[in-house]
Amino acid sequence: MSWIEIIYVMIAVFFLTRLCFLKKEIKRATRQLHLLNKDVTAKKIDVSYVDQDMEKLAKEINEQIDLTWEAQAEKKRTENELKQAISNMSHDIRTPMTSILGYIQLLDGEDLSEEKKREYTQIVRKCALRLKALLDDFFELSIIESSDYALSIEKIVLNDLLLESLVGFYEEFNKRHIEPSIQIPENQISIMADPSAVKRVIENLLTNAIRYSSGGVTIHLEKAATSARLTIRNPACQLSQEDLIFIFDRFYKADQPRTDKGTGLGLSIAKSLMLKMNGNLTAEKKGHELFMICEWKLAGKAFK
């Protein structure tokens, strides 16, 4: 056998050996994927045969496995949130509904005085209004969080919109004997946002501050380098650091057991609207005070 024939044989043996190892590695990877898909193991794909193409393939498969796991975790989280939201909504609907039905039965009593009838009628009206507010907020939140919910982004003067909103809360502040500290700069602060959405966010944050404040309320508007920052703070001694983690969740109320102060959806609506406007809404606890911080990008600027 000539040396050329020997070289050809060696080359053929090399490629056959390589093909054999590659086929063996493919079978091994297939077994690993099978076990992973059957939930027998959670181990990702690894390769024992040193081959650049096989290593790249294993890397791509493992990245796809990571994405699948992330999607499954997100799906599970969403399902749990939905179950919790339904449970909370059922609880909140059942409470006023039970009260309404109970007092209606009492109103059917023949020996009821006119004074008691008026008292029970007022309670029924109050429960019905709470039920309506809950359904309205839940319906609004479901619309806001839908993918096709559109906002009308335009240039607005935040100073004017904030003052307009504050005027509408004069009676609420007065009724609760709260004299708010208002700090609004004279220079105009223009932002790119939806006017009605911004007003809704401010109203929800003010409502939350008034309802749960154990003292005064401070409203501070300022202009940063690329953003307008609105801070609404109020004493909240009952609020813990753990509450901050869930404060924007649907139906969450820090003052458990649940009260009839609100629907528990106001902050969720505010958070969703801020996200739709590409803004930020965060909550911080400093000492005994709760800080709600809104940020919108300035007109002609972008967040750093």
Residue 194 has phi, psi (to 5 degrees) of -90, 120
Amino acid at 66: D
Flag whether 223 is in a domain: yes
Query: Could you tell me if 231 and 265 lie in one domain?
Result: yes
Flag whether 52 is in a domain: no
Q: Report how far apart, in Å, the C-alpha atoms of 165 and of each of 99, 199, 212 are.
A: 34, 7, 19
Query: Could you tell me if 246 and 268 lie in one domain?
Result: yes
Q: What is the CATH number of the domain that holds 191?
A: 3.30.565.10
- Helix (H) / strand (E) containing 79: helix 52-107
- Residue 49: what pLDDT? 67
Query: Could you tell me if 132 and 236 lie in one domain?
Result: no
Query: Using 50, 70 and 90 to split pLDDT, how confident is the model at 202?
Result: very high
**Helix and strand element counts for the chain (H, E):** 8, 7
Q: Which residue has the tokens 């023949």?
A: 110
For residue 77, the enclosing domain spans: 73-144
Domain boundary among 117, 144, 171: 144
Domain boundary among 87, 121, 144: 144
Query: Could you tell me if 161 and 291 lie in one domain?
Result: yes
By the 10 Å C-beta count (0-12 exposed, 13-18 middle, 19+ buried), 51 is classed as middle
Query: Could you tell me if 167 and 258 lie in one domain?
Result: yes
- Residue 254: what pLDDT? 57
Whether pLDDT at 256 is above 60: no
Q: Write down the mean pLDDT value for the chain.
A: 83
Flag whether 53 is in a domain: no
- Residue 295: what pLDDT? 95
Query: Using 50, 70 and 90 to split pLDDT, how confident is the model at 257?
Result: very low
- Give per-residue pLDDT as tens, 116-153: 888 989 999 988 988 888 788 778 877 887 777 888 89
Query: Could you tell me if 121 and 170 lie in one domain?
Result: no
Residue 153 has phi, psi (to 5 degrees) of -80, 125
Flag whether 87 is in a domain: yes
The sign of the CA dihedral 101, 106, 108, 113 is negative
- Give per-residue pLDDT as tens, 7-43: 777 777 777 877 787 788 888 888 888 888 888 877 8
Domain boundary among 113, 144, 175: 144
Whether pLDDT at 275 is above 50: yes
Query: Could you tell me if 158 and 126 lie in one domain?
Result: no
If one counts the domains in the chain, the total is 2
- Helix (H) / strand (E) containing 15: helix 3-37
Counting Cα atoms < 13 Å in the Cβ hemisphere of 148 gives 0
Q: What is the mean pLDDT of residues 107-114?
A: 80
Q: What is the mean pLDDT of residues 190-207?
A: 92
Query: Could you tell me if 193 and 235 lie in one domain?
Result: yes
Sheet holding 218-223, edge to edge: 181-183, 218-223, 227-235, 289-297, 280-286
Among 15-29, 73-87, 153-167, 233-247, the range with the most confident prediction by mean pLDDT is 153-167
- Residue 206: what pLDDT? 93
Query: Using 50, 70 and 90 to split pLDDT, how confident is the model at 258?
Result: very low
Q: What is the CATH number of the domain that holds 95?
A: 1.10.287.130
Q: Higher model confidence: residue 149 or residue 281?
A: 281
Query: Using 50, 70 and 90 to split pLDDT, how confident is the model at 251?
Result: low
Whether pLDDT at 82 is above 80: no
Flag whether 206 is in a domain: yes
Apex 160 CA angle, 159 and 163, nearest 5: 85
- Residue 253: what pLDDT? 60
